[in-house]
Amino acid sequence: MNSSEDAVSRFYFDHLENGRQDKGVLTAECPFCRTQEGEKAGKLVVIINPGAYFHGYFRCLSRCVPGGFPLWFAHLIGLAPDAVPGYDPDRDPLRQLPDYPVANINGEMRSCHDRLSDEILTRYREMGVQPELLSELQVGYNGRYITYPYIQADGNCYSLRCVFPERPEDYFWQGDDRFSNDPFRIFNVQDIERCADGTLFLCEGEDNFLTIRQQGYPGVAVPHHQAFENIDPEQFNAIRTIFLVTVHSGEADAAARELAARIGYKVRLLVWAPGTPRNYSLADLAREKGKNFRQAVTEMIRRANAFSPFAGPEREYARFLQQLAGRGEGAYTSIQTGFSRLDGALEGLHGLNVIGGAPKVGKSAFAIQVASQMAEQGIPVLYYDFENGRQQIYQRILSRLSRLEIRQLVEGKLQGTERQRFDDAAAKLRRMLNVLRVVNDRKLTPELMRRHIDFIRHETRSKYAVVVIDSLHKLPFKDFNERRTGIDAWLRHLESIRDELQVSFLVISELSRGTEKAYSEEPHLGVFKGSGDIEYSADNAMVLFPKTVQKQNGDGDKRSATLWVVASREHSPGPVASYELDYPFWGFVEKDVEPTL
């Protein structure tokens, strides 16, 4: 498109006298410069390139007014907003300004600026920043610290950030404490309004912003990338494109991506070239490149990645093929519970598996046996226990493996074959603990669970891991009165972890009582307690349905239960197997389901 046919270009041609265009830049006399008689006004330049991010951005080379986009130009020249191309009358108005105090520190700001020393000016010249820009933004010096005035939307300064040169970690705030905190910690915040319907930079660090501003770009800055988490995305609703640039570090990049996810599609991340030193900044780049700095920034803009929460199509397809091939690998197919009928019905333990059962039916004993049998195979297992305690879990494993009662283990009076069985079982348990971790942390969070999974996979050098949770209803959540929503939120997180980290879950759930206050209903999804989302979250929903609980001579019990698959994404529902508790050794024996008459 010819720039003269573009609405934004015509807008400037119509309102600037004696304008002439050369290579995408319109130059005209500045209508805002106040000159004495006989003196010429400064030059106003406008980027006229419909395909460019900064199309329509104007600035006075004499810095008589701050630059901006057409809406800001119209405001300065006294035009109604509806005269501006693309003006949206239905756009939400800018948020109401807060009640600013009567007292400000504008005088201290100007005093510090007047104290800029030759040493500080030389420091800025080395990064290409000239005194005229420092004067425009009133950057100053108090004799020891560089002062950055955080001028607010009303045009006054209420706080200065004072930073020791070359030691950015040494800083303090001066002025009104209220304006030394969020949401007021945005340097040059007025550019957000000036750049409505346009583009600006969002920089980490004031000096990095100054190097960009010196090249004629608009923008704002925050003191450090940690401030990104407190930025309100609604501040940027009127901005079309945001170039987000940080120092070169993993922490800063992660913070930038988190902010970009909150702001949305309009963010483009400036990416540092491979091999760039850690903590390298735009100020460093300006010192290194000198007169070629603008060209280097232009190249970074060209390569800037449009932020998206989605993987690219090539990467997504490659990941699909990788995971498809992975399902045929031995490491995936070997994720077996150790119960042959259950493994045959579900093709191993994969995805999010929820198992419910009445109290005392043996849910915990079943889960402990599955976890220990998988650990025996060398599969990494995280067992989150909120029911039994670590010691009891280990005792039950040792009792099952040795076929010795827990009473005998505690007494320790073992001889002959009993001693041999104990030694063999203890050796197995010791090996299991290389891959089995029991966690009792009642402050568990989804993020902490993710870190635990990363740790155990790294320690065991395994691609996959299994997580057992006993139980879903005992997982920590903030408000006991919001138990239902807390449980459903945890299920959402478990789904996410399953997909992101290739984790298999076995999660114990409580059941609701039947109409006669007994756990006697035929297994179905409705028997799960306190969470309708199990139906949507679980890959396999199972119930241990009690058959018998028979006391024997007062010294033990004979428990028998049938495991039912009541819902599954990939497998047929129905009874899987019968499980009899091998009391007092805390193990289940798997048997075929008895046919019904």
Q: Are 344 and 301 in a shared domain?
A: no
Q: Are residues 257 and 350 in the same domain?
A: no
User: Based on the domain organization, do 271 and 128 belong to the same domain?
Assistant: yes
Task: Choose the final residue of a domain: 240, 272, 306.
Answer: 306
> What CA dihedral angle connects 64, 70, 74 and 77, to 10 degrees?
30
From the list 121, 163, 152, 290, the residue with the least C-alpha distance to 215 is: 290
Does 287 lie in the same domain as 250?
A: yes
Residues 32 and 67 in one domain: yes
- The region of weakest confidence among 15-24, 101-110, 215-224 is 15-24
509 neighbors 487 (Cβ within 8 angstroms): no
pLDDT in tens, 539-595: 999 999 887 654 444 445 677 899 999 999 999 999 999 999 998 999 999 999 876
- pLDDT higher for 305 or 46? 46
How many percent of the chain have pLDDT more than 70? Answer: 91
d(CA 565, CA 572): 8
Nearest to 583 by CA among 401, 400, 359, 345: 400
Q: What is the pLDDT of residues 503-538, one digit of tens each?
A: 999 999 988 765 444 456 677 777 776 655 787 889
- Kindly state whether residue 323 falls inside one of the protein's structural domains: no
129 in the same domain as 257: yes
Same domain, 69 and 143: no
Q: Is residue 101 part of a domain?
A: no
pLDDT in tens, 294-304: 999 999 999 99
Is pLDDT above 50 for 129? yes
Planar angle of CA 383, 385, 391, nearest 5 degrees: 95
Tell me, yes or no, whether 99 lies in a domain. Answer: no
DSSP three-state, residue 338: coil
- Residue 347 domain-assigned? yes
Query: What's the CA gap between 188 and 547, in Å, rounded?
Result: 72
Is 315 part of any domain?
no
Domain total in the chain: 3
Average pLDDT, whole number, for the chain?
Answer: 90
User: pLDDT tens digit string along 314-369?
Assistant: 878 887 888 788 787 888 889 999 999 999 999 999 999 999 988 888 999 999 99
Q: Is residue 596 part of a domain?
A: no
SS3 271: coil
AA identity, residue 83: A
Residues 152 and 283 in one domain: yes
In this prediction, residues 383-398 reach a mean pLDDT of: 95
pLDDT, position 1: 44
Residue 381 maps to which CATH number? Answer: 3.40.50.300
Residues 586 and 469 in one domain: yes
Q: For residue 38, what pLDDT is reported? A: 60
Residue where a domain terminates, one of 65, 83, 101: 83
Q: Looking at per-residue confidence, does 427 or 534 come out higher?
A: 427
Report which of 41, 38, 11 is spatially closest to residue 28, judged by C-alpha positions. Answer: 41
Asked if residue 71 and residue 115 are part of one domain, the reply reads no
Reported as a single tens digit per residue, the pLDDT across 212-243 is 999 999 999 999 999 999 999 999 999 999 99
Domain that holds residue 350: 331-591
pTM assigned to the model? 0.61
545 and 451 in a single domain? The answer is: yes
573 part of a folded domain: yes
Residues 88-109: what's their mean pLDDT? 82
What CATH number has the domain bearing residue 231? 3.40.1360.10
Is residue 98 one of the residues assigned to a domain?
no
Whether residues 274 and 173 share a domain: the answer is: yes
pLDDT at 553: 44
> What is the pLDDT confidence band of residue 5, given thresholds at 50, 70 and 90?
low
CATH number at residue 52: 3.90.580.10
